[in-house]
């Protein structure tokens, strides 16, 4: 990944007078939905870029070693080999950005990927995912265990109550402790934006998370009623830009939850390009949290290559 954000001292002055013009943000988000998507070879190129930024995820109560192994195989071979050959991309080493699982399944994923001879990182959710309603000591212990099991990325979730009650010092300290527990593992901080009450709180929580040393800020757990939305994405990316201007450190962005179609993936890529620039369009600074998105992307690439949509049995399940 890119050079890590070391964080800063807590600067409450950066957030004390924040005002978010919600109507303007919503209008911009509505315009984004009307953007015309790219077609032909350009579409295929954008979709392959999206594949490399996917955190291929399974976070179900019935996860087993076998379905994690299947997920890892799909992570290494996200697009059928013959389709990549038709696009002359078969030798470019295209894989997903990471495999994301619960801590108890980290060892299964690490061992499977190691046996397959690939270096795809394993990410683990932690810190009381998805609710965050566990004692801090338990959160830190869970992070340390996930790292011990081999996770190279940790997706923590914040305590929403600290945001809703304006306890910014407490939020900063909690995230700093989580960052310390991660050690060398990179930390993505899930804000659970659908539960923060306002776009102003989303901006403030984003800034606090970055001050506390987050390598990425992430919209959602995927378990909330409202997950990744364009208004939230705009606000979070504006915060990332401001933090970069203030400190010189680039922090990654990860929308997650409800992103299911190839068109949505391309729109997110285009939005990142518009708000942050092309340098953010790498797995080091942009990820898409998704479980079913890859299937639609492969279907669209199949159509681009063959002119027909694949039958159910023609594409391997993720």
175-194 pLDDT, tens digit each: 999 999 999 999 999 999 99
What is the extent of the structural domain holding 211?
37-314
Residue 26 domain-assigned (yes or no):
no
| CA-wise closest residue to 52 among 293, 317, 312, 309 | 293
Residue 148 domain-assigned (yes or no):
yes
Q: Stretch 33-58: mean pLDDT, rounded?
A: 93
CATH number at residue 103: 3.20.20.70
pLDDT of 172: 98
The count of structural domains within the chain is 1
pLDDT of 317: 66
Residue 259 domain-assigned (yes or no):
yes
- Burial class for 134, CB neighbours closer than 10 Å (0-12, 13-18, 19+): middle
**Contacts (Cβ under 8 Å, ≥6 apart) of 165:** none
Instruction: Label the pairing between strands 153-157 and 216-218.
Output: unpaired
Q: Which residues are catalytic?
A: 218, 254
pTM: 0.96
pLDDT of 1: 44
131 pLDDT more than 70: yes
pLDDT of 143: 98
Contact 309, 278 (CB under 8 A): no
Residue 183 domain-assigned (yes or no):
yes
- Give backbone dihedrals phi and psi of 153, rounded to 5 degrees, phi first: -140, 140
């Amino acid at each position: 990944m890119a050079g890590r954000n070391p964080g800063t001292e807590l600067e409450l002055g950066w957030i004390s007078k924040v005002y978010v013009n919600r109507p303007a943000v919503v209008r911009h988000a509505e315009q984004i939905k009307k953007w015309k998507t790219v077609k032909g070879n350009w579409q295929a190129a954008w979709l392959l870029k999206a594949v490399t930024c996917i955190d291929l995820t399974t976070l179900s109560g019935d996860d087993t070693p076998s379905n994690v192994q299947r997920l890892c195989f799909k992570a290494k071979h996200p697009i059928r080999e013959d389709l990549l050959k038709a696009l002359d991309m078969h030798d470019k080493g295209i894989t997903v950005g990471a495999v994301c699982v619960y801590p108890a399944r980290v060892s299964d994923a690490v061992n499977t990927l190691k046996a397959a001879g690939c270096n795809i990182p394993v990410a683990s959710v932690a810190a009381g995912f998805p609710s965050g309603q566990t004692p801090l000591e338990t959160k830190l212990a869970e992070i340390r265990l996930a790292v011990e099991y081999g996770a190279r990325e940790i997706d923590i979730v914040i305590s929403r109550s600290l945001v809703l009650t304006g306890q910014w010092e407490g939020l900063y300290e909690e995230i700093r402790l989580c960052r310390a527990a991660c050690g060398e593992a990179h930390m993505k901080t899930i804000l659970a934006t659908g539960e923060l009450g306002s776009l102003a709180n989303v901006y403030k929580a984003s800034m606090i998370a970055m001050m506390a040393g987050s390598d990425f800020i992430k919209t959602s757990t995927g378990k909330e009623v409202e997950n990744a939305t364009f208004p939230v994405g705009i606000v979070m990316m504006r915060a990332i830009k401001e933090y970069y201007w203030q400190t010189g450190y680039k922090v990654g962005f990860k929308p997650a939850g409800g992103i299911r179609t190839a068109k949505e993936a391309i729109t997110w890529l285009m939005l990142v390009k518009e708000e942050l620039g092309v340098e953010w369009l790498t797995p080091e600074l942009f990820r898409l949290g998704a479980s079913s998105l890859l299937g639609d992307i492969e279907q669209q690439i199949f159509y681009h290559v063959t002119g027909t949509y694949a039958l159910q049995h023609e594409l391997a399940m993720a």
